[in-house]
């Protein structure tokens, strides 16, 4: 589909991988279901099929990456390669990304860097979907944070949005005609609702603290990249607007900073955390459920909603018509 | 009290300020009630009265700060001054601190940096007090994150621990003989408890996400500073152990990174957030309640628990005896 829309083959592969990785890990909201929006964005000229990103080192440790309206995952991996290389001499390197499409799930990026022995932090903003604690208007993005930390046998990978749930999960309940649990979202009067059709804003996770965290990330990304704020952010869910969110990556090299990540203590500590429940399996380390699911789905395949599959087939048959 | 214990006058002032700032802002758990523990630590030789910290620049953008068993706030301000200066040329500078006493509340540090026009992030670990989601053993610190972002008229300041509440608040209920709300903590069988005496571990805020965040910060600080992990961390609550937690500060200079923090859009966005509730005052920006309380207490004084006041008076009368 992407190649038919003039995306170079190597870039199409990176973008397709990003979508499929989300489905493999059990996050269909960031999976192949986004292909039709992306295809429409390319057709409409708001996402460029050929990604020409410009990297400008502001200092030895900080690079501004202008994505030139290109594909988020292509820009992200280009930026990360430069940051990883730079962090080997500077210890810390930060990438400030603007003007590219949705990056997709953040876990695969930080996991890859952590697999290479560096620490990676990722922040990205999105359309305003989350209401402030005490409020009811959608003014804050779902603003995820991802953290990758080298460890044996596998990196530690946290990838969490600051909303209670994704809009995708609310839409899924809407499609099924099922109520949502109280606490997920509010209606236009600011009341907690169980009716997925009445939802106007997702609630922050963890009350006032989760709200503070999401707001801090919103401000942080804008303060570092110059990207837009709150309800002014467009271009990741729609098919007609140039994307104006920002993304931030940071790579840190523990070896340069004098810390040995390969001694046993990180592994031992994570084992202790795993064993910290009443029964085996009660405590799950972030990222491990996804990793297991990914391994299983690589063998057994990915279950897709039939609407998503039909959409993909239709796109495949005719990628270029609206 | 501190001067009588051989702390140089200027350092005593910095340390006293750190304690009083917490009381001014409404966080007595980090306030003057910690003075007696600190005094005992100095008497017992596990905290040095004279802070001789050693800064070693690992790269242009990263400095390792060995606190030499000294006073946390003195080490922190020394590190921050160096980081702020360095970030003016490198855009980003990170400080990796070990071997100093408890820093106290993080908000005043990041607020000061943000007041100077730079972004500041702070992470610190602590004794293990929080249980993993699904578990019941205290294996994770309360691991706060603080974020300071320049804005007009006052900086944005987030300072949040990743536990549901502080141990101080649970102890306060214990002293009053009052039950704690369900969800704050668990007992030795891993059950949610309302009995403050039965508490063995504080619950993470925000369920699995808050747990993931606290665990990520625990690993991050250890991976950056080489500090200890989990239940091996000692020396901020006790009076007999050399402190082995780590602290991380990061300063980022938006001017160097090409972002103008003084245009109106950050102020306008925060105003929009404030107005996002049904009624005026429903939505509170993180840090603003503390700022108002601080202003009021600077005029009206600080209410202290009588036990804390008696303790302080006793210390004042005889600072050097155990």
pLDDT, one tens digit per residue, over A154-184 is 999 999 999 999 888 898 888 888 999 999 9
User: How crowded is residue A301: how many other Cβ atoms within 10 Å of its Cβ?
Assistant: 9
pTM attached to this predicted model: 0.97
The string of pLDDT tens digits covering residues B161-208 is: 999 998 888 988 888 889 999 999 999 888 999 999 999 999 999 999
Q: Could you give the CA distance from residue B57 to residue B53 in angstroms, rounded to a whole number?
A: 13
Mean pLDDT within B42-59 = 98
Judge whether residue B120 has pLDDT over 90.
Answer: yes
Does B83 touch chain A if contact means CB atoms closer than 8 Å?
A: no
Judge whether residue B255 has pLDDT over 90.
Answer: yes
Smallest Cβ–Cβ distance between B220 and the set A92, A147, A211 belongs to: A147
Q: How close B71 gets to chain A, by Cα (Å)?
A: 23
DSSP letter for each residue of A25-51: TT-GGGTGGGHHHHHHHHHTTSS-SS-
pLDDT for position A171: 85
Q: Nearest Cα to B121, choosing from B142, B144, B146, B96?
A: B146
Distances (CA, A) of A197 to A176, A226, B243: 11, 34, 53
Residues of B in contact with A200 (CB under 8 A): none
Of the ranges A74-83, A303-312, B2-11, B215-224, which one carries the lowest mean pLDDT score? A303-312
Distances (CA, A) of B103 to B40, B77, B99, B286: 17, 10, 11, 20
Interchain contact, B283 vs A133, CB within 8 Å: yes
Smallest Cβ–Cβ distance between B219 and the set A60, A134, A266 belongs to: A266
The residues, any chain, with a CB within 8 Å of residue A30's CB and separated by 6 or more, are A19, A22, A104, A105, A168
Interchain contact, B149 vs A254, CB within 8 Å: no
Residues of A in contact with B216 (CB under 8 A): 147, 149, 156, 158, 286
* Residues B53-82 as b or e (16 or more Cβ within 10 Å = b): beeeebbbbbbbbbbebbbbbbbbbbbbeb
Please measure the distance between the N-terminal and C-terminal CA atoms of chain A and give it in whole angstroms. Answer: 13
Q: Could you give the CA distance from residue A168 to residue A307 in angstroms, rounded to a whole number?
A: 14
Q: Provide the token pair at B169.
A: 């608040």
Name the residue of chain A whose CA is nearest to B214's CA: A158
The string of pLDDT tens digits covering residues B221-244 is: 999 999 999 999 999 999 999 999
User: How crowded is residue B191: how many other Cβ atoms within 10 Å of its Cβ?
Assistant: 10
Name the residue of chain A whose CA is nearest to B201's CA: A276
pLDDT for position B281: 76
Suggest the residue from A62, A142, A189, A246 to mutate for an interface test with chain B (most B CBs closer than 10 A). Answer: A62
Of the ranges A12-26, A224-238, A271-285, B258-272, which one carries the lowest mean pLDDT score? A271-285
Mean pLDDT within B270-275 = 93
Location of structure tokens 């996991």: A111
Judge whether residue A275 has pLDDT over 90.
Answer: no
> ipTM above 0.90?
yes
Does A61 touch chain B if contact means CB atoms closer than 8 Å?
A: yes
Interchain contact, B273 vs A207, CB within 8 Å: no
In this structure, what DSSP letter does residue A284 have?
-
Angle at A20 between CA A51 and CA A157, to 5 degrees: 95
pLDDT for position B169: 86
Residues of B in contact with A229 (CB under 8 A): 265-266, 269
Name the residue of chain A whose CA is nearest to B225's CA: A259
Q: What is the dihedral of CA A121, A126, A129, A130, to 10 degrees?
A: 30
Interchain contact, B222 vs A190, CB within 8 Å: no
pLDDT for position B7: 98
Q: How close B83 gets to chain A, by Cα (Å)?
A: 13
Interchain contact, B190 vs A58, CB within 8 Å: no
Residues of B in contact with A220 (CB under 8 A): 119, 147, 149
Residues of B in contact with A207 (CB under 8 A): 205-206
Does A230 touch chain B if contact means CB atoms closer than 8 Å?
A: yes
Q: How many CA atoms lie within 13 A of B213 on its CB side?
A: 29
Interchain contact, A61 vs B64, CB within 8 Å: no
Suggest the residue from A87, A94, A216, A253 to mutate for an interface test with chain B (most B CBs closer than 10 A). Answer: A216
The residues, any chain, with a CB within 8 Å of residue A11's CB and separated by 6 or more, are A2, A50, A51, A71, A74
Smallest Cβ–Cβ distance between B160 and the set A59, A209, A229 belongs to: A209
Judge whether residue A302 has pLDDT over 90.
Answer: yes
Q: Are B199 and B164 in contact (CB under 8 A)?
A: no
Q: Provide the token pair at A12.
A: 């199409």
Smallest Cβ–Cβ distance between B266 and the set A206, A219, A258 belongs to: A219
pLDDT for position A320: 86
Residues of B in contact with A189 (CB under 8 A): 278
Mean pLDDT within B67-89 = 98
Mean pLDDT within A7-22 = 97
Judge whether residue A321 has pLDDT over 90.
Answer: no
Chain A contacts in chain B segment 203-222 (CB below 8 A): 205-213, 215-216, 218-220, 222
Q: Could you give the CA distance from residue B106 to residue B250 in angstroms, rounded to a whole number?
A: 13
The residues, any chain, with a CB within 8 Å of residue A304's CB and separated by 6 or more, are A23, A28, A31, A32, A312
Q: Could you give the CA distance from residue A239 to residue A230 in angstroms, rounded to a whole number?
A: 19
Does B266 touch chain A if contact means CB atoms closer than 8 Å?
A: yes
Task: Give me chain A's average pLDDT, please.
Answer: 95
Q: What 3-state DSSP class applies to A95?
A: strand
Q: Nearest Cα to A216, choosing from B266, B201, B282, B178?
A: B266
Q: How close A114 gets to chain B, by Cα (Å)?
A: 12
Judge whether residue A299 has pLDDT over 80.
Answer: yes
Q: Could you give the CA distance from residue B77 to residue B113 in angstroms, rounded to a whole number?
A: 10
The string of pLDDT tens digits covering residues A87-111 is: 999 999 999 999 999 999 999 999 9
Q: Could you give the CA distance from residue A225 to residue B257 in angstroms, rounded to a whole number?
A: 8
Q: Are A32 and A305 in contact (CB under 8 A)?
A: no
Judge whether residue B279 has pLDDT over 90.
Answer: no
In this structure, what DSSP letter does residue A227 have?
-
Task: Give B51's pLDDT tier (boundaries 50, 70, 90).
Answer: very high
Does B64 touch chain A if contact means CB atoms closer than 8 Å?
A: yes
Q: Could you give the CA distance from residue A236 to residue A103 in angstroms, rounded to a whole number?
A: 9
Residues of A in contact with B269 (CB under 8 A): 218-219, 229-230
Q: How close A231 gets to chain B, by Cα (Å)?
A: 9
Does A234 touch chain B if contact means CB atoms closer than 8 Å?
A: no
Q: How many CB pairs under 8 A join A and B?
A: 236
Smallest Cβ–Cβ distance between B273 and the set A215, A225, A257 belongs to: A215
Judge whether residue A281 has pLDDT over 80.
Answer: no
Judge whether residue A38 has pLDDT over 90.
Answer: yes
Suggest the residue from B204, B223, B233, B259 to mutate for an interface test with chain A (most A CBs closer than 10 A). Answer: B223
- Quote the percentage of chain B above a pLDDT of 90: 88
Q: Nearest Cα to A156, choosing from A115, A200, A189, A190?
A: A115
pLDDT for position A277: 73
Name the residue of chain B whose CA is nearest to A58's CA: B257
Task: Give A4's pLDDT tier (boundaries 50, 70, 90).
Answer: very high
Judge whether residue B110 has pLDDT over 90.
Answer: yes
């Amino acid at each position: 589909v992407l190649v038919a829309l003039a995306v170079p083959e190597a870039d199409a592969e990176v973008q397709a991988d990003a979508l499929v990785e989300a489905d493999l890990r059990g996050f269909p909201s960031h999976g192949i279901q986004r292909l039709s929006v992306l295809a429409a964005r390319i057709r409409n000229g708001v996402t460029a099929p050929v990604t020409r990103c410009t990297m400008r080192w502001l200092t030895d440790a900080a690079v501004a990456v202008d994505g030139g309206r290109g594909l988020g995952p292509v820009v992200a991996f280009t930026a990360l390669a430069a940051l990883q290389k730079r962090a080997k001499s500077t210890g810390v390197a930060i990438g400030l990304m603007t003007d590219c499409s949705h990056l997709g799930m953040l876990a695969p990026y930080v996991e890859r860097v952590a697999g290479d022995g560096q620490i990676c932090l990722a922040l990205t903003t999105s359309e305003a979907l989350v209401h402030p604690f005490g409020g009811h208007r959608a003014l804050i993005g779902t603003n995820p944070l991802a953290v990758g930390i080298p460890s044996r046998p596998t990196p530690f990978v946290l990838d969490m949005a600051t909303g209670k749930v994704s809009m995708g999960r609310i839409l899924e309940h809407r499609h099924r005609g099922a109520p949502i649990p109280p606490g997920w979202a509010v209606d236009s009067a600011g009341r907690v609702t169980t009716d997925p059709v009445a939802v106007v804003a997702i609630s922050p996770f963890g009350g006032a603290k989760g709200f503070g965290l999401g707001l801090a990330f919103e401000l942080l990304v804008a303060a570092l990249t110059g990207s837009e704020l709150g309800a002014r952010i467009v271009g990741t869910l729609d098919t007609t607007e140039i994307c104006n969110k920002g993304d931030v990556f940071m790579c840190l090299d523990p070896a340069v900073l004098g810390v040995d990540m390969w001694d046993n203590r990180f592994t031992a500590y994570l084992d202790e955390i795993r064993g910290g429940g009443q029964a085996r399996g009660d405590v799950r380390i972030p990222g491990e459920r996804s990793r297991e699911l990914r391994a299983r789905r690589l063998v057994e395949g990915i279950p897709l909603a039939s609407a998503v599959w039909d959409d993909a087939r239709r796109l495949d048959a005719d990628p270029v018509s609206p």
